[in-house]
Amino acid sequence: MDTPICKFVHTYCKNNTVRMHMPGHKGCNFLGCEHLDVTEVFGADSLYQANGVIAQSEQNASKLFGCNTFYSAEGSSLAIRSMLYLVLLFAKSCGKSPTVLACRNVHKSFLSGVALLDLDVVWLPHNGANYLSCNVDANFLDGFLQAMENKPTALYVTCPNYLGEMQNVQKLAHVCHKHGVLLAVDNAHGAYLAFLQNNQHPMALGADVCCDSAHKTLPVLTGGAYLHVSHNAPKIFVEQARNALSLFGSTSPSYLILQSLDLANKRLAEGYASELQQFALQVQQAKSKICSFGWKVVGEEQLKITLQTKQSGYTGVEIANVLRQNNVECEFCDQDFVVLMLSPQNTASQLQLLVQVLQNIPQKQPICTTPPRFCQPIGKTSIRQAMLGNKVALPTRQCLGKICADANVGCPPAVPIVMCGEVIDQNAIDAMLYYGIDVCQVLA
């Protein structure tokens, strides 16, 4: 597979063109990559009006994923807001008021997108043991949608979630389409799913639109992501995809990231699937060994190893520190979990190191504390009113009865515990303190 963006940039560099254009480094290497860092010069195409090398590269990606694929140089955060904008446009084109039915374990960029677009959100009842989990049963969804007098424009789910738990996207898509509802999937952690022996990518399972953070699991620079639109999605989705991305994206996208996405196409087309499938088997073998030592491994995702650590007598933070002392850095940890995100770029010896470190940690008496039981807070204002309102930072313990005005959580995992516009009750305070959130942004 060709790499048109990379070819253009390398040719541009070889010509020793006098760079009287941005960026200001003028191709002089300080980090070592500046000579490849260009802008929208003649022939470089333009990301949001692509009809040259970028369009050609996106066509290559589209063939790989079996849908209409558009690049984001600003991660899935940009693609998530763009998905919401497309949902809004489709609703307006049908004369409907746009409403999104969503699981509560959304990324905080979902909230900012909703606020900027002034969308209505209906939250599905939360059935997970923690705020990162939210599984949707297809039969429950069927009944829920049947009971809704005004059907939402789209259902929005996160799959895989941060813990590596998967939804049955195929069944959810079937139920959604039965009720005339679109399915949008935050697949930020699952770009590689399209290249497994049994394709588990949302686009192959019936989703109408989804995002992938290519940089999370594929050999792509940080910030490289995709917006995927199904061939069966409303026509307006493809027609307006670039406008959606340009509405929220920078007018100066990184050509380093675009080259990375371009080069990844060649890698994905030439042997990556076989490499991925072999590595997935190695990860499964590692999981089996880890379980044999007494550790509890959760989640179905094939490129994550998620340990539920309290059963072995440790907090997730404690195990993350032990791993760090042995030169292993995890993706995420909290009181209950350690999340290790892998890819075929990890070597067999690195996997073996992880297994060995965990084998050497003695099992102890289980820790019996659990996260506070989740009770869905009461919504008081819209997400937009809360996020764009006059806000103040207060110690979490002083926020009882206040209205949440921000996601109040960092990245990772960037999943809010209380949604903007909801009243912070005692249960919410207990949960935020449990997860180390000592200060909250609330409406003044």
Residue range 395-420, pLDDT digits in tens: 999 999 999 999 998 888 999 999 99
355 CB-side CA count, 13 A: 17
Max CA distance (Å), the chain: 67
User: What is the share, in percent, of the chain residues with pLDDT greater than 70?
Assistant: 100
Tokens 């919401």, located at residue: 84
pLDDT of residue 127: 78
Answer yes or no: CATH 3.90.1150.150 is held by domain 293-360.
Answer: yes
Q: What angle do helix axes 4-14 and 53-65 make, rounded to 10 degrees?
A: 150
Whole-number Å distance between alpha carbons of 46 and 214: 20
Segments making up each domain of the chain, as ranges: 4-267, 293-360, 383-443
**Cis omega before residue 4 (within 30°)?**
no
pLDDT of residue 120: 96
Residue range 16-64, pLDDT digits in tens: 999 999 999 999 999 999 999 999 999 999 999 999 999 999 999 999 9
As a CATH number, domain 383-443 is: 3.90.105.10
Question: What is the rounded (10 degree) CA torsion for 171, 189, 61, 180?
Answer: 30
Whether 82 contacts 247, CB under 8 Å = yes
- Judged on CB neighbours under 10 Å (0-12, 13-18, 19+), 198 is exposed
Task: For domain 4-267, give the fold.
Answer: Aspartate Aminotransferase; domain 2 (3.40.640)
Taking residues 308-320, report their average pLDDT: 97
Whether 348 contacts 282, CB under 8 Å = yes
